[in-house]
Amino acid sequence: MNGPEIHVAFAPELHVFVPQARRGTATRVATDGVSTLGHVVESLGVPLTEVGALVVDGREVPPAHVPAAGESVTVRTVERPQRVPGAPLRFLLDVHLGTLARRLRLLGVDTAYESTDIGDPALAARSAAEKRVMLSRDRGLLRRRELWAGAFVYSTRPDDQLHDVLDRFRPELRPWTRCTACNGLLRQATKEEVADQLKGGTQRTYDVFAQCRRCGRAYWKGAHHDQLEAIVERALSGDTQRD
């Protein structure tokens, strides 16, 4: 771009997306005179899903604003909790976020997950068709215009990922109501109804079961229940950062 120069300053939370040289104080950026401010911000590395207010010379402007020479732009991060239009709040996760998907489902959050790489266009189309917030660490995916809504997952650690999503969106939590395998809703089940999924020790030891209405998977308070209970308790208390 060799057009009018503007000055751009990014909120500290967005520094992860921009080169070292553009962090801190406002830096000069050359524009082409016709591209929108949203396009300019994304060309500098920041997905618009992570952008809150765009402030130009003290006034808030939309991403469609075309910057003029000499304007000073402040790029703020998304306010928390982030309000997403439409209800209920639902998510779609890409192939790299399987653990996060299972934990969100454990908490009763409607979470679709693609266990194979179906490609960015298909993911974006599903987000739009089902009105789901796309969660991903793929910046290119989050820049696709077809997305209904999206959010970057900043950490590679499932504990921190869960904390960040819950803090950012504050979804309603209904633990133990969804299948962690397929996202279907659970119902109470008798031992006889799930007997074909139980080994001898389980049949003798446990009497309380649930079953997924969609895939039929059986659930009971097995060997890993304490670990799962700890995740649920921390989520309900607002402390989800540590195992």
pLDDT band for position 1 (cuts 50, 70, 90): low
Cα Dmax for the chain: 76
Consecutive H or E run containing 186: strand 186-189
* CB-based contact 164:152 (threshold 8 Å): no
| Alpha carbons 147 and 77: distance in angstroms, whole number | 19
Q: Is pLDDT at 242 greater than 50 in this prediction?
A: no
Chain centroid, CA 142 distance in Å: 10
pLDDT (tens digit per residue) in 107-142: 999 999 988 999 999 999 999 999 999 999 999 999
What pLDDT score was predicted for residue 243?
A: 41
The three-class DSSP label of residue 7 is strand
Asked if residue 104 lies in contact with residue 165, where contact means CB atoms within 8 angstroms, the answer is yes
| Average pLDDT in the chain | 93
Q: Output the pLDDT for position 26.
A: 85
Task: Return the pLDDT at 238.
Answer: 84
Q: pLDDT at position 240, please?
A: 55
The rounded distance, in Å, linking the Cα atoms of 14 and 9 is 10
CA torsion, ordered 17, 137, 90, 239, to nearest 10 deg = -80
